[in-house]
A and B are shown apart, each in its own frame.
Chain A
Amino acid sequence: MQGNEACAEGALMAGARFFAGYPITPSSEIAELMAEKLPLAGGSFIQMEDEIASMAAVIGASLAGVKALTATSGPGFSLKQENLGYAAATEIPCVVVNVMRGGPSTGLPTSPAQADVMQARWGTHGDHPVIVLSPYSVQECFELAVKSFNFAEEFRVPVILLMDEVIGHLRERVELPDAVEVVDRKKPVVPPDKYYPYENDASMVPAMANFGDGYRHHVTGLIHDITGLPSGKPAVTEKLLGRLNHKLDRYLDRITLYEEVAVEDAELVVFAYGCTARSALEAVNAARGSGLKVGLFRPKTIWPFPVEQLEKLSGKTFLVPEMNCGQLVGEVERVVGRRQVHRLNRFDGELITPDEILLKIQEVMSGVQ
């Protein structure tokens, strides 16, 4: 099965019943499969006039109580940013799959890159919460698609499943479970006249009524109070932005997904995600085979950034291979110190090879000793 197909299967199993999109390489298979399968599952598929409208439709569907997603690639992801910010501000759960290709602009339509990593975090304006997950196998496309919906529903945030052309188009064996753990958004337990759509309890996440269920539910991208109506008051602004930007803090342990390979005694840790992590794993194994103390840290959750997990490894030397001109490496430097971090960047549209990483490992380690 292909990564894009596995992503679609995961979304369906997580309960997605609405897809709006505008097909774009290398994500189109997701739309294709959704168009085929959603109607059979009682859901809806709409090909919209563009990516902006697709994102708006996804938000509308989610407000009406339906789990919704869209899938795109770089150029479309740029267009979705405005409404992505709207979803973050209004706390509407939704999933955006971005199968990264080479950019900027139309770039390299059929070639891989990892150049939307910062855009996924900061592409829309203003301080806002977002969760970004990065799968490195077809199996993980499925698993993280499920997680994306569960996180979106539980925390009422947009979740971006950040894939890349290699993983999206990769075919390998997967094992799909018969059932998965599915999380649904919290619904109000109070009668309609007692409901405030943005009143939160200790969970920091307000209960969400379906639009049209009889609950007064005002939704605006303007700064709003607990009624959902606009307010420009400093106290209201501070309270809303404070809550929005810190609501994930208490859940970081659960949100931060990662894998470590042989890091314990490692002198050098390769930090890699997505397609690059496959090459990195092979390079790390080869390095270990030749007696070098090398490990791999592979974040599956890249935003929020795994600060605490990396802090535990500080003191070690890091190598960050990326298929861009250097993006997430800046975060690694921020956590473990710039002097500890080496970069390896490839941005010619070809997958970085294990040999390139191994060579860099050897080069860095000969300098370390």
Chain B
Amino acid sequence: MAKQQALLTGTGGQGLILAAIMLAEGAVSAGKNVVQTQSYGPEARGGASKAEVIISEETISYPKVMNPDLVLAMSPEAYKKYGLPLDEEAVLIVDSTFVQEVKPRSKNYFALPVTRLTKAEFGSEQSANVVALGVVGAVSGWLSYEDIRQGVLQRAPKGTAERNLAALELGWRLGLEAKAQAGVSGKAELQNAGKG
């Protein structure tokens, strides 16, 4: 099988590198080869952040993503840089909390208010990265829920496992709902999803 390449992009501090590490751990737990890299600025918060994951049955030499199969964009800047030029065959997921203006796509497009729903559910934006991971997991279908759950458990900071698992569940549900709504059109824009 060909390799699967994902870019998780946004702003430094959103926790996207950690989400990518969890995704990579999930792939390891599924017995696949995986590499995970990132690029980020010198700032601890703010600045552009890009985390990359490649999953493959075969050995992976070049560790960076060249042609992503999936892009998650959690800031307008990240959307412009990585989402806008994305091929329509690849999946684009945007966090509509931050990314409101998107060039129309005919398919493979999911706009979900990830951060807003996270805040509504947990009272803070803190787990938005893991909610986003859940969306990525459910929409891509690359790994099972159980494998990604293992990835989250292994990498969740001490004392946050419960919260992060709840976040993963919320994201996964949201992803499935979006996928169901997208159906044949392959597009979903959910404003009040994940409440059920």
Beyond A282-B61, A353-B66, whether A171 also contacts B42 by CB under 8 A is: no
* Binary contact readout B91-111 vs A (1 if CB under 8 angstroms, 0 otherwise): 000000000000000000000
In Å, the complex CA distance between A349 and B45 comes to 21
Which residue from chain B places its CB closest to the CB of A172 in the assembled complex? Answer: B35
- Whether, in the assembled complex, B46 has its beta carbon less than 8 Å from a beta carbon of chain A, the answer is no
Bound: A170/B65 CA distance, A: 13
Q: Is the CB of B42 within 8 A of A173?
A: no
Bound CA span A173–B60, Å:
11
A4 in the interface (beta carbon within 8 A): no
The reply to whether B61 and A171 contact each other, CB–CB distance below 8 Å, is: no
Cβ-defined contact, A169 with B28, below 8 A: no
Contacts A171-B24, A173-B28 given; does A279 touch B35 at CB 8 Å: no
Asked if B35 and A171 make an inter-chain contact with CB atoms under 8 angstroms apart, the answer reads yes
Report how far A363 CA is from B21 CA in the complex, Å.
Answer: 38
Q: Do the beta carbons of A110 and B63 come within 8 Å of each other?
A: no
- Whether B40 sits at the interface, judged by CB under 8 Å, is yes
In the complex formed, the residue of A with least CB distance to B40 is: A110
B34 contacts partner chain A, Cβ-Cβ < 8 Å: yes
Number of residues on chain B facing chain A (CB within 8 A): 19
A354 at the interface (CB under 8 A from B): yes
Report whether A110 and B39 are in contact in the complex, using a CB–CB cutoff of 8 Å. yes
B4 within 8 Å of A by Cβ?
A: no
User: Residues of A within 8 Å of B, CB-based: how many?
Assistant: 20
How distant is the Cα of A111 from the Cα of B48 in the complex, in angstroms?
A: 13
Q: Are the C-beta atoms of A25 and B42 separated by less than 8 Å?
A: yes
Q: Does B37 contact A (CB under 8 A)?
A: yes
Within 14-44 of B, Cβ neighbours of A (below 8 Å) are at: 21, 24, 28, 33-42
Hey, which chain A residues are within 8 Å of B66, CB to CB?
353, 355
Q: A166-B37, A171-B21, A172-B36 are in contact. Are A282 and B42 (CB under 8 A)?
A: no
> How far is B42's CA from A109's CA once the two chains are assembled, in angstroms?
7
Contacts of B33 in A (CB 8 A): 172-173
Chain A residues with CB under 8 A of B37: 166, 169-171
Bound CA span A109–B61, Å: 24
Q: Answer whether residue A278 sits at the interface, using C-beta atoms and an 8 A cutoff.
A: yes
A278-B61, A278-B62 given; A172·B42 CB < 8 A: no
A354 near B62 (CB under 8 angstroms)? yes
Q: Which of A25, A110, A279, A285 has the most CB of B within 10 A?
A: A110
**Residue of chain A at shortest CB distance from B53:** A171
B64 within 8 A of A: yes
CB closest residue in chain B, given A285 = B61
Is A281 in contact with chain B by the CB < 8 A criterion?
A: yes
Identify which of B28, B34, B35, B66 gathers the most chain A CB atoms within 10 Å of its CB: B35
What is the minimal beta-carbon distance from A226 to any residue of chain B, in angstroms?
A: 49
Q: Which of A110, A170, A285, A355 contacts B42 (CB 8 A)?
A: A110
Using A278-B62, A279-B62, A353-B62 as known contacts, say yes or no to A171 and B36 having CB atoms under 8 A apart.
yes
A56 interface hit (Cβ, 8 Å): no
Whose C-beta in chain A lies nearest to the C-beta of B31? A173
Could you show 24 A-B contacts with beta carbons less than 8 Å apart? A109-B42, A110-B40, A110-B42, A111-B39, A166-B37, A166-B63, A170-B36, A170-B63, A171-B21, A171-B37, A172-B35, A172-B36, A173-B28, A173-B33, A278-B61, A278-B63, A279-B62, A285-B61, A351-B63, A351-B64, A353-B64, A353-B66, A354-B62, A355-B66
